[in-house]
Structure 1
Amino acid sequence: MLDSVIKVLNDVRKKTPLIHAITNNVVINDNANALLSFGASPAMVVSPDEAYDFTAISKALYINIGTINDEIRHTIINSTLSAKEHKVPVVVDPVGCAAIKSRVDFVKMLLKIGNIDIIKGNVGEIKVLLGVETKVRGVDSLDDGNDAPDVCYELANSINTTIVATGKFDYISDSRRKIIVKNGTEMFTKITGAGCTLGAIMAATRAVCDDSVLAALTALLAVNIAGELAAEESTLPGTFRTKFYDYLYILNGDLIKERAKFEEIGGKISETF
């Protein structure tokens, strides 16, 4: 299975997929630099008039609703419609939906008008999309995540979309598989936009891999292992961020094989890997 993960990583570097990232204002530069370090080609087109045509030529679309407004809402809708028409994979990051109900409604609308391949959020956001009670503080989840595997599976099964929930551990599920990833570092909580960066990287892996679960797993391992390596060299947030980009750039198959910590919950991993 790790060989498949490494192939996805190498395919991103080989193919340099163009990623249309409609991300929030706080992390535009971070997402662009992370995608470049990882081997993808980022573009942040936010004009509603340009969004449809640009999505059509992209290899994946990343939607992040962190700082959404009326203009960005129209941009996202136009891009979602274009992605469906032109068969461009879509990753949605429902930032803040656990705190603001209108964001839940917006994500559900995107699911109706488009083909969403992956929804990636923290545990609180994923629970709210399923209609389960949770605890949040603004955009941050305070949920312990003990039931996250089942929540991810239930949401994935109900909307036929791969679900990723992040927290102390990270969880992936579609209607067949439940995977836990145990890599990561607390230093991600000391910088802005770590989860948003993960979403952007996930769009890059999905751009070169038709299996959304494998794409999500590759992105989680890449980001978390790069973070671990960066944290081993610095416990200062500013230096950590820089080192994180460096390790995204130099990450390779040997490092993934050496450090990857993940397992399927409840049975043998699917042979589709």
Structure 2
Amino acid sequence: MNNINLDKVTKILSEVRNKIPLVHCITNYVTINDCANILLSYGASPAMCEAYDEVFDFVKLSSALYINLGTLNKEQEQAAVLASTSAKIHDIPVVLDPVACAAVPKKIQVINRILQVGKIDVIKGNIGEIKFLAGQSSNVKGVDSFDTGEGALECCIALSQKYKCTVAATGKKDFITDGKRSAVIENGTEMFTKVTGSGCMLGALCGAACGASEDKFTATVNAILSMNIAGEEAFKAANTPGSFRVKLIDCIYQLSEEKLKEGAKIVWK
């Protein structure tokens, strides 16, 4: 393992806790509370602001913008596009979670509009969503991916080069790239698939990490590694879904650089 890269990755955790980045979240109603709480435990400050009349001005006060398309309604759509425009004007990093984009064509229209008038620094989705965005066939059912990791890194690299951003595809293994540097994370737990919102919480953490670091690739690797190692720790203490969900937030709070270094299973590409 490249220890220089790992040192840079684990340091992001301390940067988040020192800077306490304000993460402006336009996210879905199913997981909004979990996203806010996991951001607090990670060391960031959440703001769940989605009113169209407020988002343009609020973005410029924020450290990062997280857009999740999970339960998209008309006001959220308009707010997300306007917020991304403000992020481009004020140079605020944007993390996009293209939830169910492979199942709902409308979401692609919104993504294209955001790319047209705003900006995206990180796209974080499950493997099925990322393959779909990269123009490949994918195995999805609603918001869930049943895709394997075969070809996932290549799709991430193609999408990253197309949109000039960091791309992460999550699954049994997680694939992250900025088109030049790539990492495959082999940490995690199957219990993530038994609770609603683990992907949404991860997207929020990506926003916090990107709000604390200029290096969006390293920041995204830290967020995913942090989520996975916390998940592994939570599963040791709570191996049923309800208690796991609560313990996960506790374990995010208890993370340290040392825990990340000791537990990391990363293959650098």
Structure-1-length-normalised TM-score: 0.95
Shift of residue 180, structure 1, vs aligned partner: 0.3
String of CA shifts for 1:19-40, please: whole Å, max 9, x gaps: 0011100000000000000000
Root mean square deviation, CA, Å: 0.8
1:154 matched residue in structure 2: 158
Shift of residue 144, structure 1, vs aligned partner: 1.0
CA distance in 2, matches of 1:133, 1:3: 36
SS at match of 1:150: helix
- 1:143 aligned to which of 137, 140, 147: 147
Which one-letter code corresponds to 1:252 in the other structure?
A: S
CA distance in 1, matches of 2:141, 2:95: 24
Which one-letter code corresponds to 1:158 in the other structure?
A: K
- 2:36 aligned to which of 11, 32, 39: 32
Give aligned-pair identity as a percent: 48
Which runs of no fewer than 5 residues in structure 2 stay unpaired? none
CA distance in 1, matches of 2:27, 2:188: 23
1:208 matched residue in structure 2: 212
CA distance in 2, matches of 1:83, 1:56: 7
Shift of residue 264, structure 1, vs aligned partner: 1.4
Which one-letter code corresponds to 1:139 in the other structure?
A: V
Which one-letter code corresponds to 2:117 in the other structure?
A: I
Shift of residue 6, structure 1, vs aligned partner: 2.3
Shift of residue 145, structure 1, vs aligned partner: 1.9
The size of the alignment, in residue pairs, is: 265
Matched, 1:67 2:71: yes
Aligned residues of 2:81 and 2:110 also touching (Cα < 8 A): no
String of CA shifts for 1:28-76, please: whole Å, max 9, x gaps: 0000000000000000111100010001100000000000011101110
Shift of residue 115, structure 1, vs aligned partner: 1.9
Question: 1:116-265 maps to which residues of 2 (within 5 A)?
Answer: 116-265=120-269
CA distance in 2, matches of 1:188, 1:142: 14
Which runs of no fewer than 5 residues in structure 1 stay unpaired? 266-273
Structure-2-length-normalised TM-score: 0.97
| Structure 1 residue ranges, 4+ long, deviating more than 2 angstroms after superposition | none
Shift of residue 89, structure 1, vs aligned partner: 0.3
SS at match of 2:23: strand
Question: 1:70-109 maps to which residues of 2 (within 5 A)?
Answer: 70-109=74-113
1:51 matched residue in structure 2: 55
Shift of residue 2, structure 1, vs aligned partner: 2.1
String of CA shifts for 1:143-189, please: whole Å, max 9, x gaps: 11211010100111111111100011000012212210001000100
Shift of residue 108, structure 1, vs aligned partner: 1.9
Shift of residue 130, structure 1, vs aligned partner: 1.4
